[in-house]
Amino acid sequence: MIPFGLLFTHRMARSLLRAKPSVDQRVDAFYTGSIAKNIISTAQTNGGIITLDDLKKYKVIIRKPVQIKYRNYTITSCPAPSSGIIALSALGILENFDISNSSSINTTTHLLDEAIKFAYGQRMSIGDPAFVKNVTDLQTFYLQKSTSKELADRISLSTTFPSYYYNPENYTAQRESGTSHLVTADASGLVVSLTSTVNYYFGSQLMTEDGIILNDEMDDFSTPGTSNGFGYIATPANYIAPYKRPLSSISPTIVEDNEGNFHFATGAAGGSRIITATLQSLWHVLDQGMDVQSAINAPRLHDQIVPLTTTFEYTYDNATTAYMAALGHNVTWVAPGQSVVQGVTRDRNGVFAAASDGRKLDSGSTIY
């Protein structure tokens, strides 16, 4: 008899039963036990070079989050080698403008895209702080009000610019899909915004006999002269090195009001589009006053400098995209679903609202 409220699936149960001999070993089961051995065997059988010693030496690193004051809010996200820093940098630039008026959506969309391009230009200089010098100082610099103001002053309301204007290193390209995000919060103020990923669809498309899907996170590193599966160009700060962590787009974010109370938590899946999707959900909720479901449902744009295209979902307003094209943006179109956002809000009366992105099948939200 299965108790009420307990979800049971045969496939997951079989995976757990296969792993059962190692359960008592707890963490060691994954890093040195039978689960680890099956991971290594699966990888090496298919040409991988990972060893048991690699897993044994792996250490979890807890890093200090990055944080900004944005209007009347305190916003916290994850530092390098993740990309919360980039989403916050774009917000810092946008704080220098009034982006709350829906009647000026054409200008606001242009400002949004320009801020995104400057922020993605900054991303090209960051990497694993354990391997790249001065990354911590660089993040502090990016989030300074003076830096944001300087970049905001470089934005023209009448035109856009070539890629090198936003990309100081002038990197060029020769030319995340297996990601999920969840947000949860409770009445005590405990909030979790979590992104998990195996990178591309089903990672490396290999599964151990324990039912563990192996990721292909090596694609998140840079390889000289190439771009990765999400179109990111190669940057030296993200070149491969032993025990180095690759640069990631994940940007889980939590917002507090001016009294320190939880207000909004969000994050996204979608490879290189994670940053822009997260940023736009923040913009819609914090500046435009949208409810969380409307904010997530709203059509999105994406721009990462290289390639120099501004991509809009098909549902974006045609008048706005025509305006953007007239300013010199290289407008292209994609079907909705390239990024998927989740979010939870709490108003000043303590009322929660949860929303999930309908762009992804079986995505859902609940309050209880």
Domain chopping of the chain, boundaries:
11-57, 66-174+247-356
Query: Is 249 assigned to a binding site?
Result: yes
**251/183 Cα distance (integer angstroms):** 12
Query: Is 228 assigned to a binding site?
Result: no
Query: Is 271 assigned to a binding site?
Result: yes
pLDDT, residue 229, reads 62
pLDDT, residue 231, reads 65
Q: Which amino acid, one-letter code, is at 226?
A: T
**262-269 and 73-77 beta bridge pairing:** unpaired
**258/195 Cα distance (integer angstroms):** 26
pLDDT, residue 220, reads 87
pLDDT, residue 28, reads 80
**100/227 Cα distance (integer angstroms):** 36
pLDDT, residue 173, reads 40
Asked if 249 and 175 count as a contact pair (C-beta separation under 8 A), the reply is: no
Tell me the HSE value of 91 on the side-chain side, using a 13 A CA sphere: 35
pLDDT under 50: residue ranges of the chain: 22, 24, 172-176
Query: Is 248 assigned to a binding site?
Result: yes
pLDDT, residue 224, reads 85
CATH class of 66-174+247-356: mainly alpha
Q: Which tokens sit at 109?
A: 């969309």
Query: Is 191 assigned to a binding site?
Result: no
Quick check: helix, strand or coil at residue 188? coil
**191-197 and 179-185 beta bridge pairing:** antiparallel
pLDDT, residue 265, reads 98
Tell me which of 42, 76, 160, 179 is the catalytic residue.
Answer: 179
Q: Compute φ and ψ for 7, nearest 5 degrees.
A: -90, 130
pLDDT, residue 179, reads 85
Quick check: helix, strand or coil at residue 57? helix
pLDDT, residue 193, reads 95
pLDDT, residue 172, reads 44
pLDDT, residue 174, reads 36
pLDDT, residue 175, reads 34
Does 42 participate in catalysis according to the annotation?
A: no
**145/103 Cα distance (integer angstroms):** 27
Query: Is 199 assigned to a binding site?
Result: yes
